């Protein structure tokens, strides 16, 4: 983990961009050319079980699984490094606190992702098993998949609040006399 560092992939940036923009473009192009897209856009308009499976269900499930695996591996690495640093430089290590805070922040974003997309995953699995998915499930999907910005905004505000709490030093009063010097926190 590198704090405050810009991740520069250099000459390999195009591969990341091709994957993130190219795959969805090709997927939507295939659905459009195969004439399986309805009149209202990608989600509501994808007709048929197989196109819905490949456009919606499989990508959402893959991303949920990959997020879970990557988050678990990252959390495990942060935990082992924190314990290692704690053993070598003590409990009050700055990197220890930053790593712990990074893990907490990361878990908030993973939680937001699951809250946002759980209904789409359940809807897709339900659609594979049953012929008709109830309207209530559709309403849950449209509601939860559209609150991502609000949830990420809440996470941002939580992170900002935690940062301002930790960065504001507590004022101290220093009392100096001939016999001793004493510092106390102002309450």
- pLDDT digits over 145-186, tens only? 889 889 989 988 988 887 777 655 555 555 566 665 555 555
* pLDDT tens, position by position, 41-61: 445 556 667 777 777 778 888
Q: 34: closest CA among 48, 53, 18?
A: 48
By DSSP bridging, strand 181-185 and strand 172-176 are antiparallel
Where in the chain are the domains?
Answer: 37-185
pTM over 0.75: no
Read off the DSSP letter of residue 12: G
């Amino acid at each position: 983990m590198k704090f405050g560092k810009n991740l520069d992939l250099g000459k390999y940036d195009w591969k990341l961009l091709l994957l993130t923009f190219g795959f969805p473009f090709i997927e939507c192009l295939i659905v459009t050319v195969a004439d399986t897209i309805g009149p209202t856009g990608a989600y509501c308009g994808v007709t048929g079980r197989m196109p819905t499976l490949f456009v919606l269900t499989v990508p959402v499930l893959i991303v949920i699984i990959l997020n879970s695996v990557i988050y678990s591996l990252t959390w495990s690495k942060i935990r082992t490094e924190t314990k290692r640093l704690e053993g070598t430089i003590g409990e009050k290590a700055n990197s220890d606190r930053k790593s712990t805070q990074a893990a907490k922040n990361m878990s908030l974003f993973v939680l937001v992702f699951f809250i946002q997309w759980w209904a789409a995953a359940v809807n897709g699995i339900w659609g594979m098993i049953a012929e008709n998915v109830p309207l209530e499930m559709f309403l849950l999907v449209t509601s939860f998949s559209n609150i991502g910005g609000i949830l990420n905004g809440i996470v941002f505000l939580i992170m900002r609040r935690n940062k301002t709490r930790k960065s504001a030093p507590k004022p101290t009063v220093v009392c100096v006399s001939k016999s001793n010097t004493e510092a106390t926190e102002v309450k």
